[in-house]
Structure 1
Amino acid sequence: MNREHSVAADREQAVTDKVLASFAKTADPRLHEVMGSLVRHLHAFARDVRLTEREWETAIEFLTRAGHITDDRRQEFILLSDVLGLSMLTVAINEPKEPRATEATVFGPFYVDDAPEVPLGGDLARGAVGTPCYVSGRVLSVDGTPIGDAVLHVWGADDDGFYDVQYSDDHSAGRGWLRVAPDGSYRFWTVLPTPYPIPHDGPVGDLLTATGRGPMRPAHLHFKAVAPDHRTLITHIFVAGDPYLEDDAVFGVKDSLVTRAEHHSAGPAPDGSHQQEAWASMSFDLVLVPDGDR
């Protein structure tokens, strides 16, 4: 190493050392650990790519744009985390290692807290455009015991690829929550999921375009399963045969979450109703891990 290179390296390391030292009085040990690691890795990244000042300015502009476009209907930072794989990596780090449990996947940016309650077997679609789809299954503990006091939160996009919160009229459709039956079974009507693009008219979309990536997600339905004495599960069910299963923009697909959608002609449905048009059905069991289990 020549002297000029050594001086430059020492100067750069001095910056990192000063920043690390500034956290020495952090009272929370975990915060101290996380911030120290963040600074070391972030500074190492800048050194590794020899980050230019113009590139740094571009990154700041990118994050500023992400902040400006984020509101109560759109979370651009979650989209950024998703397309960088950080969301799925965090899921992988934190989900239980119990092999019998339903695998977790990304939460996504379109969950809302105040979705309406839907009765067991009710219509969660409530006007969402698409093929009627009857979804059913059971909520079980890993030992096969039915969980009769579970609550399911469900949300999905319509046939045009939009969630209700992406419309400007404040209507609620394609989402809701329901209580499962005492035997752990659940059932409801919604619309058959179809593939759709994540919002790509902002900075995250520009990033995808610049890197030659697409914005598409395979057809899926979101589930959040909550039950006493069990870990909350965030997952999707994906439609088998979807063309984007191997090219999910947010890396959320897991083979165990892919299930077949059965297509039916107009006629009787499992709940005793008579459907006036073609409809579909999907069945999927959700297996939860007891609290404390890994």
Structure 2
Amino acid sequence: MDFNEHTATRAVQDSFRGTSDPRLRELLDALTRHLHAFVGEVRPSIREWEHAIGFLTAVGQTCTDTRQEFVLLSDVLGVSMLVETLNEQEGGTESTVLGPFHMVESPPRALGDSIDLIGEAPPCLVAGRVLSSDGTPLSDAEVDVWQCNEKGFYDVQQPGVQPAGNGRGLFHTDSEGRFRFRTVLPSHYPIPTDGPVGRFLRATGRHPYRPAHIHFIVRADGHTPLTTHVFVAGSPYLDSDAVFAVKQSLIVDFTESTGAGTAARNGVRTPFHHAEFDLVLSRELG
């Protein structure tokens, strides 16, 4: 069979006939079909094709142990959020993107500990419950937390400035499914723009900003793990998140308080911000 624009797709699909895994065969078949259709529609020049290969190569070369540029590219193209949406389970807290900064393990911490290892910014108290979709509190659920600081930087972005593990914590809920920790109010921030994804955003006239948020991954036996954010109500960019991750149900008030009693019980100074919310997990099917 001559390889031409009319036979190319079938020729490549036929080359995967020996794929023993049916799901892999399905994925490769669909990838070939859609990718070839895209190329046939836009008819790229050789120079454009070379530029695209160079861009993807640069994305890969930018990845390190503490930076995931491919996740960032997936995020800004809306692919990460689409995959989350397609895999979302009914009955639980809405999910959203993992993001590119969950690159190091969160240090284990006791309930009530602070994930702010610097202590210069006004404190923030975060508390809530982990529940099953039927309302049952889930004890000993794992709550993995990470966030940027009050200036909009994660610890891995500022080695030598922020201590490793700043803004991160791995907690387990108590017998009533409750979690709590001290932190700082996170800031809105730009995603990294010093790499190929940043150049892509500039070329398309898009801003790089994300609204203020705290990341969570929650796990409990018999339940589907939840990857989500809690967004700070009133933050800039809630209506134009660079990675399309905002959902109305995930926006939470972080109220300012001067309550001396609450401050004393939690070991913080006044004034402080305070947020409380539930994280609900869906039961695993089967």
Task: Give the TM-score band, short-chain normalised.
Answer: over 0.9
1:129-144 correspondence runs (5 A): 130-144=121-135
1:14 Cα deviation from its structure 2 partner = 1.4
Work out whether 1:176 is the aligned partner of 2:169. yes
Q: Alignment partner of 1:209: what SS?
A: helix
Q: Match for residue 37 of structure 1?
A: 30
Aligned equivalents of 1:55, 1:129: Cα separation in 2: 49
Contact 2:112–2:266 (CA under 8 A) maintained in structure 1 = no
Per-residue CA deviation, residues 153-188 of structure 1 (Å, 9 max, x unaligned), is 000000121111112236220001011110011111
Aligned to 1:237, which of 227, 230, 253? 230
How many positions carry a matched residue from both structures?
282
Q: Alignment partner of 1:182: what SS?
A: coil
Contact 2:74–2:80 (CA under 8 A) maintained in structure 1 = yes
| Structure 1 residue ranges without an equivalent (≥5) | 1-9
Work out whether 1:76 is the aligned partner of 2:69. yes
Contact 2:67–2:103 (CA under 8 A) maintained in structure 1 = no
What RMSD, in angstroms, separates the aligned Cα atoms of the two structures? 1.6
Aligned equivalents of 1:224, 1:101: Cα separation in 2: 13
Q: Residue 168 and residue 270 in structure 1: after superposition, are their counterparts in 2 closer, same or farther (change >3 A)?
A: closer
Counterpart residue type for residue 57 of structure 2:
T
Q: Match for residue 79 of structure 2?
A: 86
Contact 1:79–1:109 (CA under 8 A) maintained in structure 2 = yes
Aligned to 1:102, which of 93, 97, 116? 93
Counterpart residue type for residue 173 of structure 1:
N
| Structure 2 residue ranges without an equivalent (≥5) | none
Counterpart residue type for residue 20 of structure 2:
A
1:52 Cα deviation from its structure 2 partner = 1.4
Aligned to 1:163, which of 141, 154, 160? 154
1:290 Cα deviation from its structure 2 partner = 0.8
Q: Residue 192 and residue 25 in structure 1: after superposition, are their counterparts in 2 closer, same or farther (change >3 A)?
A: same
1:256 Cα deviation from its structure 2 partner = 0.3
Q: Match for residue 138 of structure 2?
A: 147
Q: Alignment partner of 2:246: what SS?
A: coil
Q: Match for residue 18 of structure 2?
A: 25
Aligned equivalents of 1:276, 1:134: Cα separation in 2: 11
Counterpart residue type for residue 44 of structure 2:
L
Q: Alignment partner of 2:128: what SS?
A: strand
Contact 1:129–1:159 (CA under 8 A) maintained in structure 2 = no
Q: Alignment partner of 1:43: what SS?
A: helix
1:127 Cα deviation from its structure 2 partner = 1.8
Aligned to 2:208, which of 206, 215, 218? 215
Counterpart residue type for residue 67 of structure 2:
R
* TM-score under structure 2 length normalisation: 0.94
Q: Alignment partner of 1:225: what SS?
A: strand
Aligned equivalents of 1:112, 1:67: Cα separation in 2: 15
Work out whether 1:120 is the aligned partner of 2:111. yes
Contact 1:267–1:274 (CA under 8 A) maintained in structure 2 = no
Aligned equivalents of 2:105, 2:224: Cα separation in 1: 21
1:34 Cα deviation from its structure 2 partner = 0.1
Deviates more, 1:184-193 or 1:168-177: 168-177
Work out whether 1:289 is the aligned partner of 2:282. yes
Identity across the alignment (%)? 48
* TM-score under structure 1 length normalisation: 0.92
Q: Match for residue 181 of structure 2?
A: 188
Contact 2:217–2:226 (CA under 8 A) maintained in structure 1 = yes
1:126 Cα deviation from its structure 2 partner = 1.8
Aligned equivalents of 1:271, 1:112: Cα separation in 2: 34
1:81 Cα deviation from its structure 2 partner = 0.1
1:271 Cα deviation from its structure 2 partner = 6.3
Aligned equivalents of 1:276, 1:32: Cα separation in 2: 59
Per-residue CA deviation, residues 257-283 of structure 1 (Å, 9 max, x unaligned), is 001010123734266145334210111
Contact 1:239–1:258 (CA under 8 A) maintained in structure 2 = yes
Q: Residue 291 and residue 270 in structure 1: after superposition, are their counterparts in 2 closer, same or farther (change >3 A)?
A: farther
Contact 1:266–1:275 (CA under 8 A) maintained in structure 2 = no
1:69 Cα deviation from its structure 2 partner = 1.1
Counterpart residue type for residue 138 of structure 1:
R
